[in-house]
Structure 1
Amino acid sequence: MRQPILGPMIGLCLVLTSFSQTAAAETARAVTLTEWKSVFGRVEARDMIPARSRIGGVVVEITVEEGDSVAKDAVIATIRDEKLALQLDAVQAQIDALGSQLDNARAELKRGEDLLERGVTTAQRLDALRTQVEVLENQIDATRAEKSVVEQQAAEGAVLAPLAGKVLDVPLTSGTVIMPGEVVAQIGGGGFFLRLAVPERHAAHLAEGAEIMVGENGAETTGRLAKVYPNIENGRVIADVEIPNLNSDFVNARVLVRLPIGTREAVVVPESALTTRMGLDFVTVAGPDGTPVRRTVVPGARSMQDGVAVVEILSGLSGGETLVDPTDD
């Protein structure tokens, strides 16, 4: 009683299996691939500011060296000008002399006031003594202001870091005689990025915000094209690339970068569909009657499409062909 039913069930299973295999069959896909241009970028600091001397003199101390990290306004060197110390001594001597004169003038003014009360002197003489006291007080104030100027000049012998960052270069040593405005150290800060110089023929394909690939194959990371400068230098477009956790141990180090410079149409197949026999590459596809047919192909670059490793087919397929597992042919 069960044999008449078993036959149709087996046939139905075969049909379902055939439908499942057909639905799961892959095809050679025509896709749009990104064209990449490999260039080298240099690790640079966003801001590179020299720490300059504000006075001339002799460098008596340098507290940093290349590679050190510094905070903003940290003292990185000390410059001493012996003439400033002599000027301070001279100004202080003037203040002391004027102070003695002021004490004497005040004493004269006090005696004049006593004599005026007794009618021995005149009010005109008393006004002259009072004016002399005021003149000496003003001279002392002016001399003290001059002393403050000299003290400020001496304080400017401390060379300060203009920003927080890393010391890139220290061209001086202790004992060097320098003039005002000379560079004591080069400070790089504000973050680090990659600076690229791309041939100008690719300028139209560079868009700020585009993702790029940084590093060698197998160890690539993703960066972002942060800035494209409008000024072309020596036939090259300058661009900046931001990369998270960029290694800044060596400034001006060269890093391989792949930039997207356009798109093109291509035919790709899963990498597992490609077989190699006797030096030739084959892809097995379904023929017009469904029988497997081997196509000789020329493979190109490999890439990832939707999480699947695929290989580009340069010739041998036009796209849309149904792929057959090469183990089944």
Structure 2
Amino acid sequence: MRFAFVLLSAAVLASQASADEFTVHSREVDDRKAVIATVEPVHLLAARARIGGTIVRLTVKEGDRIADGAEVATVVDEKLALQMQALDSRIKSQQAQRDQAQIDFDRALELKRRGVGTQMQLDQARTALDVAERTGAAMHSDRDVIMQQTAEGVVHAPGAGRVLTVPVSEGRVVLPGETIATLAEDNYILRLSLPERHARFMRAGDKVLIGARGDQNESKETMRHGKVRLVYPEIQGGRVIADVDVDELGNYFVGERTRVYVTTGKRDTFIVPAGYVYRRAGVNFVRLKNSAEIVVQPGETTPEGVEILSGLVDGDVVTHP
């Protein structure tokens, strides 16, 4: 019984010893590079004037959030009101001519029925009535056009988002197509600009790490994850452009810059669990299986452990300090 207990204790000690040991092997990891990304809206929208005229009401300012279709400004062209008045007078005059043509047609029809009038007179009266009716319809169509132009003086937001710029003011004269306000959609992305030597490593769907915002200390808790949504197929000025999707970028400023860590290739390195590296007198050490202490140079911290840049070779066995 005592012999069996000794064997069991030896087995437990051996398993604990093996659990406190870690064999170092070279492994391939992502080679990440820190670059600067700019916060950009997915779509930059422009609310434009559809008619020329004077801005009589401006309902937005920089920084406002507006809904899709909300009123941005009202543009009034006073000439449209004058054209409407003139056209209304012409429509009344044309209506009187149409009424007279109807009377002439009825008279010619009655005379033809009695056998007094001729077919030519009836045809002329019918033609005159048809011309009067078509002229009146054309004038009403012209009036609808003017009404539509007047209604188009109200400038609506082309989408929901935040107002970035309002380059006009009330009382200013604008031309058709001139920008009244620039809007950024709430859906923001990070836009990267990388040297073209990294273009062959970038793929849509690649994972990236976003550094802490501003002067915050970077750690695994403060860093966020993103995904490359698009790599543009054109290289501009020796740089490749890529867009990165990140959740909840709405509180960032448009144009704000932040650090992003992207994969630019693969490299071989040693990864040791963080608990096996200890620091003394400002120097980092690991303890080998033979109890020797080795000075190491740690590198990037990964979820698997600490990267060791120098001090270890493949096959070293380190123990927990």
Q: State the TM-score bracket (shorter-chain normalisation).
A: 0.7 to 0.9
* 2:66 corresponds to: 70
1:175 aligns with 2:166: no
Structure showing greater radius of gyration is 1
CA distance in 1, matches of 2:4, 2:125: 134
Aligned equivalents of 2:47, 2:148: Cα separation in 1 = 18
Distance 1:251 1:262 in 2: 30
Alignment match of 2:180 (pick from 167, 184, 208): 184
Task: Compute the displacement of 1:202 (Å).
Answer: 1.3
Task: Give the Cα separation in 2 of the matches to 1:262 and 1:78.
Answer: 54
Is the Cα contact below 8 Å between 2:187 and 2:250 reproduced in 1? no
Give the drift of 1:312: 2.4
Instruction: Give the counterpart of 1:316 among 306, 311, 316.
Output: 311
**TM-score between the two structures when normalised by the length of structure 1:** 0.86
Aligned twin of 1:254:
257
Unaligned runs of 5+ in 1: none
Q: What CA distance in whole angstroms lies between the structure 1 residues aligned with 2:110 and 2:9?
A: 136
> In the alignment, is the contact (CA less than 8 A) between 1:28 and 1:323 conserved in 2?
yes
Q: Secondary structure at the match of 2:183?
A: strand
Aligned 8 A contact 1:273 1:325 in 2: yes
Paired residues of 2:21 and 2:289 also in contact (CA < 8 A): no
- Trace 1:50-69 onto structure 2 (pairs within 5 A): 50-69=46-65
Aligned residues: 313
Task: Indicate the residue corresponding to 1:139 in structure 2.
Answer: 135
Unpaired segments ≥5 residues, structure 2: 213-217
Rounded to whole Å, the distance in 2 between the matches of 1:120 and 1:131 is 20
One-letter identity of the residue aligned with 2:257: R
Distance in 2 of aligned mates of 1:13 and 1:112:
128
User: 1:242 is matched with which residue?
Assistant: 245
**Displacement after TM superposition at 1:211 (Å):** 0.9
TM-score, length-scaled by structure 2: 0.88
Q: Give the aligned partner of residue 190 of structure 2.
A: 194
Q: Whole-Å Cα distance in 1 between the matches of residues 129 and 120 of structure 2?
A: 15
In 2, Cα distance between equivalents of 1:224 and 1:112: 82
Q: Which runs of 4+ in 1 moved over 4 A?
A: 111-123
Q: Kindly tell me: are residues 294 and 97 of structure 1, through their superposed partners in 2, closer, same or farther at Cα, counting changes over 3 Å?
A: same
Q: Distance in 2 between matches of 1:111 and 1:9?
A: 133
Structural mapping, 1:213-232, within 5 Å? 213-216=209-212, 217-218=218-219, 219-232=222-235
8 A contact 2:54–2:77 mirrored in 1:
yes
- Decide whether aligned partners of structure 1 residues 67 and 53 sit closer, same or farther in structure 2, where only a CA change above 3 A counts: same
2:22 and 2:318 in contact (8 A); partners too: yes
Aligned counterpart, 2:215 = none
In the TM superposition, residue 157 of structure 1 has moved relative to its aligned partner by 1.2
Q: Pairwise CA RMSD of aligned residues?
A: 2.3
User: Displacement of 1:180 after TM fit?
Assistant: 0.9
1:130 Cα offset (Å): 3.4
Deviation at 1:108, TM superposition (A): 3.7
Counterpart amino acid of residue 324 in structure 1: T
| Shift in alpha-carbon separation, 1:294–1:94, aligned structure 2, 3 A | same
